[in-house]
Structure 1
Amino acid sequence: MSTSYEPDGPPPTARASFREVQDSPEFAELRRTHRSFVFPLALLFLAWYFLYVLLADYAHGFMGREVVGNINVGLVFGLLQFVSTFAITMLYVRFANRRLDPQAERLRRRIEGDA
């Protein structure tokens, strides 16, 4: 069985299908939902990270202040970077499971003709 299309790309029907999906309101909503969660969270994390870097570079007295024993503020903030990374990952997974995956599944079914 053979089709006639350029070997460099997908068949024309798949290309048209992709454009239809990309221009569909469902895909726009999926993209908007994703971006409305990811962009603010990424900006918040970057602000927190740059605050940590700036404090480490310019606020030696503050970052060197002992909290408990030999543990100082800089070490606590450094460890909180890891904690915040894991927390953001957990939030995103929960968000994706609850909001993105159902939208993507409905879109997939429509594309594949199941719905």
Structure 2
Amino acid sequence: MKTMPSFSREHDFTEVDEGAPDFSAIAQSAEFVQLRKRIRRFVIPVTLLFLVWYLSYVVLAAYVPEFMSHRISDNITVGLLLGLSQFVSTVVIMLVYVRFAKRRIDPQTAQLRNQAGAGR
């Protein structure tokens, strides 16, 4: 018997598919907790670093326009170079994360899938 979802808080899904992985057990496993910590140890510092970098650019543009308008060559200013470097840093972060995920996240995720019986 499959229970349909109700939109009240008193009811929830009650049927469990016996072939499905036990997601609550997986989420509480030491391997999954370690995986989440590993991801957070990468994502949080990189995100904070990028936000500081981006906000520094915005603050410089707003409060030090004479520095940002300093010409490097005819039509190239410090502000233009810093603005373009925002795109470069985004691509670099993406490439570093892809490498990190392939080396550190994907193997552990595959191992968790196999342990859960979902690695088909």
- TM-score, normalized by the shorter chain, greater than 0.5: yes
CA drift of 1:68 comes to 1.6
Higher strand share: 1
CA drift of 1:6 comes to 1.7
2:15 corresponding residue in structure 1: 11
Unaligned runs of 5+ in 2: 6-12
CA drift of 1:11 comes to 3.4
2:93 corresponding residue in structure 1: 88
Unaligned runs of 5+ in 1: none
Residues 73 and 41 of structure 1: CA distance in aligned 2, closer, same or farther (over 3 Å): same
1:27 corresponding residue in structure 2: 32
2:104 corresponding residue in structure 1: 99
CA drift of 1:43 comes to 0.2
Secondary structure in 2 matching 1:67: coil
Aligned length: 111
Cα distance in 2 for partners of 1:17, 1:68 equals 62
* Pick aligned residue for 2:75 from 56, 70, 83: 70
Cα distance in 1 for partners of 2:56, 2:118 equals 49
How high is the sequence identity, in percent, across the aligned residues?
43
- Displaced runs of 4 or more, over 6 A: none
CA drift of 1:98 comes to 0.4
Higher helix share: 1
CA drift of 1:5 comes to 3.4
Cα distance in 2 for partners of 1:62, 1:82 equals 20
Cα distance in 2 for partners of 1:113, 1:85 equals 33
Residues 13 and 23 of structure 1: CA distance in aligned 2, closer, same or farther (over 3 Å): farther
Q: Using structure 1 for the length normalisation, give the TM-score.
A: 0.88
